[in-house]
Amino acid sequence: MIIECACKKYKFAVKAEEIGINGRVVQCGVCDQKWFQEPASSEEFKVLRENHIKEEEEKKVKAKNQKPIKEKSSKNYIPIKYENKSKTNYNKIFLTILVISIIGIAFSFENREYILSKNPELADFFILLEEFVEYLKKYYSDIIEVFIPQKK
């Protein structure tokens, strides 16, 4: 609706809803005069309200249409995610093989007497394995010494 300032010099376009059905006090943004603005006619208010509802619905539709664009832009990051996933899977596979190997070696080491009684040709393997375990113990104790030098 169009309202006119009390100074009669300026006219302003305002939403009928802002004035409301009971009217309200408004202030001129140019001359600072205040006056009581009568409400828009009920017919005018109805039309403006319907237009306002239409505008809100259009905004909602626009917002919905904008969503796929956002999804598309986020899809650009998916290849990076896949890279991370494949790295994680590689680490998991490596860790799984490592754990199975350790369990397998530990198991065969624990039961080496039984395995040797069945397969005497594996004696060399267990000697190597024992040497390897000793090497690992020494290697890791060296690392611990490097990381905790104040204990010396």
Q: For Zn ion, which is the closer residue by CB, 28 or 115?
A: 28
Considering the complex, what minimum distance in angstroms separates the CB of residue 58 from Zn ion? Answer: 33
CB of 31 to Zn ion, least distance (A): 3
Q: Which is closer to Zn ion, CB of 16 or CB of 26?
A: 26
Length of the chain in terms of residues written: 152
> Inter-axis angle of helices 78-110 and 123-147, to 10 degrees?
120
In the complex, what is the shortest distance from the CB of residue 15 to Zn ion, in angstroms, rounded to a whole number?
19
Q: Please count the other Cβ atoms lying within 10 Å of the Cβ belonging to residue 116.
A: 14
Residue ranges that bind Zn ion, judged by CB under 5 A: 5, 7, 10, 28, 30-31, 33
Q: How far is the CB of 26 from Zn ion (least distance, A)?
A: 10
Q: Which is nearer to Zn ion, 29 or 79 (CB)?
A: 29
The residue (of 7 and 61) whose beta carbon lies closer to Zn ion is 7
Burial 77-110 (b: 16+ CB within 10 A, else e): eeeeeeeeeeeeeeeeeeeeeeeeeeeeeeeeee
Number of Cβ within a 10 Å radius of residue 60 = 10
Rounded distance between C-alpha atoms, residue 86 and residue 19, angstroms: 61
